[in-house]
A and B are shown apart, each in its own frame.
Chain A
Amino acid sequence: MTDLRPAAPIGDLQDRRDRDAIGRTAAGDERAFVELYRRYAPAALGLAGRVIGDRSLAEEVLQEVFVSVWSRAATYDEARGTVRSWLLAQVHHRSVDAVRRESAQRRRVAQPAHLPPGDDPIEGVVEDAWLVTRRVEVRGAMAALPDEQREVIERQYLDGLTQAQVSAAMGIPLGTVKSRTLAAMRRMRALLGGTFEGGELQEQGS
């Protein structure tokens, strides 16, 4: 199995930069907030769009999350994880809520591998090099999963289905969904490694 782990120091640097930015945001520094916004908005909007399948609802989620990031920046706790996971978890949580609340499942059309571009006159997506690289690694890791593991993960995380719904949709017992999910997450973790080790951050060179 190919080791898709990225060079750890780059991820650490990213995390440190984000922690610095959230700290400054909590102190009211608008530039720091804009820095975080520009870094993560394309990913956040992409995630919300994929989960909800509705562009305007996805944009609302993006707004809500970033306004919340601004006003609740002081609640970020670095012992719990990276700024990235804190932020994207909020996006995911609200997106799943929107899907379940609006029954947007009914409106969802089959998701192509790439969402069609928006009708706005914007050239393309500008993302940090680290995020672009990480995306490639994540796609590779997903492709390396056994099909049945990839499917349960996609249905839960990207389609916003509950485990009970996945069980019904795939015609497999709930227990199987749970065990496949755990196996898939363990394997993704093993393939990708991470910049956040355990319950404590590991500083480079410490």
Chain B
Amino acid sequence: MTGHERIEETIAAVVLGSLDDAERAGAEREILDHTTGCASCRSLYAQMRETAADLALAAPARPVPEDLERRILARAKGIVPAAVTPPPRPVSKRLAGIAAAVVLIAVGGLAAIAVSISGQADRAEDRVALMARALSVVGQPDARRVSLRGSAPGTLVLAYQPGGQAVLIGSNVAAPQANRLFELWLLKGSAATPAGVFRPDDGVVVLPVNVDVGRFDGIAVTQERRRVAAPTGAPVWSGTVAP
């Protein structure tokens, strides 16, 4: 077997996703090192990625439920960004410091943020960068905040810019029960609009909310098994949006 053959086998395994996490990191490094100097393997890697995409078509297509499209579009339009995932330890210490220092925060110019609840594909550096962006606007004169009151310990504040974007910030927020998450709702009259799900990481919550909070009159947080379209129980936190 030539040296190339071994790399080619590694390339095939990587594009098929058939290495476990530990092996995969080493394999990707190995491929990167090798392909830096080897155009044919670089080309093979690219071609094999396309072949893997062809293999995807070996699975039968499935009809997609209509409501799924609506939900995805709603999130994509910035109504429901996803949760903050627990970052590795050093990052969370930084977040704790930032969250504790927050008083008035307004977030401007945030593109729709999607941080996957599974977390596998997201890098810690990206999450820190997102959080830094979310908290970067300081001292906006028109920023408002709503303190949420709850039966559980901790501080939860929704800071927002009227007509602009918002962020839910928390420190020392108690974790939900096992296999539960928190879901944020914006209330108008009796209607509850879902605005994101989260779990505190070491008590810290930073959830960008791309909704005009000023249009609503209340905020609530419930505990749910998974993201739902309507609250299934009484709020564990709530607050009033001043007119």
Contacts and interface: CB of A to CB of B under 8 A. Distances in A.
Contacts of B98: none
A70 B17 contact: no
Size bracket of the A interface: 35 or more
A68 B111 contact: no
Interface stretch (B65-73, B149-157, B213-221, B231-239): B65-73
Contact of A156 (B16, B43, B116): B16
A134 B54 contact: yes
B132 interface: no
Contacts of B39: 199
Contacts of B58: 135, 138-139, 142, 154, 157-158
Contact of B72 (A67, A90, A100, A179): A67
Given A71-B113, A120-B65, A192-B51, A185 B59 contact: no
Interface string B35-69: 00001001100111111111111111111111011
B75 A67 contact: yes
A122 B76 contact: no
A30 B73 CA distance: 8
A65 to B, nearest CB: 9
Contact of B42 (A66, A67, A199): A199
B53 A67 contact: no
Given A68-B114, A97-B120, A166 B18 contact: yes
Interface string A112-129: 011101101011110100
Interface in A62-95: 62-64, 66-68, 70-72, 80-82, 84-85, 88-94
Given A90-B121, A131-B57, A196 B50 contact: yes
B230 interface: no
A30 to B, nearest CB: 7
Contacts, number: 217
Given A47-B59, A196-B47, A182 B12 contact: yes
A71 B111 contact: yes
Interface string A29-71: 0100110011001110111011100000011001110111011
B116 A68 contact: yes
B22 to A, nearest CB: 10
A97 B111 CA distance: 27
A41 B117 contact: no
B34 to A, nearest CB: 14
Interface of B: 5, 8-9, 12-13, 15-20, 23, 39, 42-43, 46-66, 68-69, 71-73, 75-77, 82, 111-114, 116-118, 120-121
Given A43-B57, A67-B82, A131-B61, 6 more contacts: A37-B73, A63-B68, A115-B62, A189-B51, A197-B47, A198-B43
Interface of A: 28, 30, 33-34, 37-38, 41-43, 45-47, 49-51, 58-59, 62-64, 66-68, 70-72, 80-82, 84-85, 88-94, 96-98, 100-101, 113-115, 117-118, 120, 122-125, 127, 131, 134-135, 138-139, 141-142, 153-154, 156-158, 160-164, 166, 178-179, 181-182, 185, 188-189, 192, 194-199
Q: Which are the 9 A-B pairs with shortest beta-carbon distances? A: A50-B59, A85-B53, A198-B43, A156-B18, A42-B61, A70-B76, A122-B63, A67-B114, A46-B61
